[in-house]
Amino acid sequence: MKSSANNEDGRRNFLKYIINGGLIGFVFSIFYPLVSYLKPPKQEEVEVASVSAGKLDEFEKDSGKIIQFGSKPVILIRTQTDKLLAYDAVCTHLDCTVQYKSEMGVIWCACHNGKYDLSGKNISGPPPKPLQPYNVSLKGDEIIISKLS
Ligand code: FES
């Protein structure tokens, strides 16, 4: 009689383990792919020393354009006085991409009306820091942007 009760308990425990294990497996099979899908993939940071920004004669005075520098955007500006300037194009406030506003003569962030002067210094609005400068040089008539050393 006692042996039969022990057998019954053993079978119950065995079934509990099987059912609990199955439930854990089921939950894992649902959440693992979901978490894997939502987690952004790791991207290798591409180390770039310099990039070509095109020909000087294709770039009008008093204008700006965004250039891809590896995985980062850089804003290249050709001033009215024919100076070439380049800065990190990511706003130091909340990472929006900045643009050149020729009518105001500033680098402007549309997200919260942040402004930087043409030396990259934050002059109005919420940006807390200046934009990182890049080196701009000419190789023939080709504009080369490189990191400051
Ligand atoms: S993100 Fe540029 S001012 Fe807020």
Give the pLDDT confidence score for residue 2 in this predicted structure: 59
Give the pLDDT confidence score for residue 1 in this predicted structure: 52
Mean pLDDT of the chain: 92
Confidence of residue 9 (pLDDT cuts 50, 70, 90): confident
Q: What is the rounded CA–CA span in Å between residue 128 and residue 71?
A: 23
What percent of the chain is predicted at pLDDT more than 90? 72
> CB under 8 Å to 59, separation ≥6 — which residues?
53, 65, 76, 78, 143
> In this predicted model, what pLDDT tens digit does every residue of 49-81 receive, in sequence order?
999 999 999 999 999 999 999 889 999 999 999
Q: Which atom of ligand 1 is nearest to the CA of 126?
A: 3
CATH architecture label of 50-147: 3-layer Sandwich (2.102)
Helix (H) or strand (E) run with residue 22 in it: helix 2-38
Q: Is residue 125 lining ligand 1, measured as CB closer than 6 Å?
A: yes
Q: Is residue 99 lining ligand 1, measured as CB closer than 6 Å?
A: no
Segments making up each domain of the chain, as ranges: 1-42, 50-147
Query: What's the distance, Cα to Cα, between the start and end of the chain in Å?
Result: 87
92 CA from centroid of ligand 1 (Å): 7
Q: Is residue 89 lining ligand 1, measured as CB closer than 6 Å?
A: no
Give the pLDDT confidence score for residue 47 in this predicted structure: 83
SS3 37: helix
pLDDT of 3 strictly over 80: no
93 CA from centroid of ligand 1 (Å): 5
Buried b (16+ CB within 10 A) or exposed e, 5-15: eeeeeeeeeee
C-beta separation of 116 from 130 below 8 A: yes
Q: Which residue out of 87, 93, 116 has the highest number of ligand 1 atoms within 8 Å of its CB and is therefore the one to mutate?
A: 93
